[in-house]
């Protein structure tokens, strides 16, 4: 007779930073984005536990070993005039999938959102990730079909910050 694994969730602590970075790199590999992953322990530690924390992390454990995480932060809805929670990353190591860790992590974030008076919990998902999309839709999440994500990084971000204007004909 095999016993059920002990599953727990907890907020990350400063000493968890190397574990979180390892999980971030595993997520990047799963998402086929490893070349774009520059996760740095010192930066993450500062951003999670420094004088101005930018994000929070919940860690899912199985039998005391880290098996997944959710990294999130607050955003704000002007239309609702309420804060929200944006889930940046949700990941469960492949060998621990099927135990309900992803559902537990999302349920914990939903509880935090309600507890903190948030109007919504939202996230993005890669269009090719059918297993994740199916999982989210089973929970009642709906895609925001009318919205398109835009991003500025690297050179264009710095150019705009330095006052560079777009070329003629652009908005």
Known catalytic residues are: 136
Query: 12: closest CA among 108, 86, 96, 100?
Result: 108
Closest of 149, 151, 150, 68 to residue 109, by C-alpha: 68
Strand partners, 69: 59, 91
d(CA 151, CA 156) in angstroms, rounded, equals: 10
Can you tell me the distance from the alpha carbon of 88 to that of 27, in angstroms, rounded to the nearest whole number? 12
Q: Report the run of H or E that residue 117 belongs to, with start and end.
A: none
């Amino acid at each position: 007779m095999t016993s059920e694994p002990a599953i727990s969730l907890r907020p990350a602590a400063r000493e968890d930073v190397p574990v979180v970075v390892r999980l971030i790199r595993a997520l990047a590999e799963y998402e086929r984005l490893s070349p774009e992953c520059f996760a740095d322990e010192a930066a993450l530690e500062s951003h999670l536990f420094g004088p101005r924390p930018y994000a929070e992390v919940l860690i899912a454990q199985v039998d005391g070993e880290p098996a997944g995480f959710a990294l999130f932060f607050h955003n704000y809805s002007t239309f609702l005039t309420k804060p929200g929670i944006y889930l940046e990353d949700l990941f469960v190591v492949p060998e621990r999938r099927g135990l309900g860790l992803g559902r537990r992590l999302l349920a914990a974030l939903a509880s935090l959102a309600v507890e903190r008076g948030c109007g919504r919990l939202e996230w993005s998902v890669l269009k090719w990730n059918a297993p994740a999309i199916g999982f989210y839709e089973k929970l009642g999440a709906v895609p925001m079909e009318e919205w398109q994500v835009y991003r500025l990084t690297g050179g264009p971000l710095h150019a705009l910050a330095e006052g560079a204007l777009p070329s003629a004909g652009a908005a």
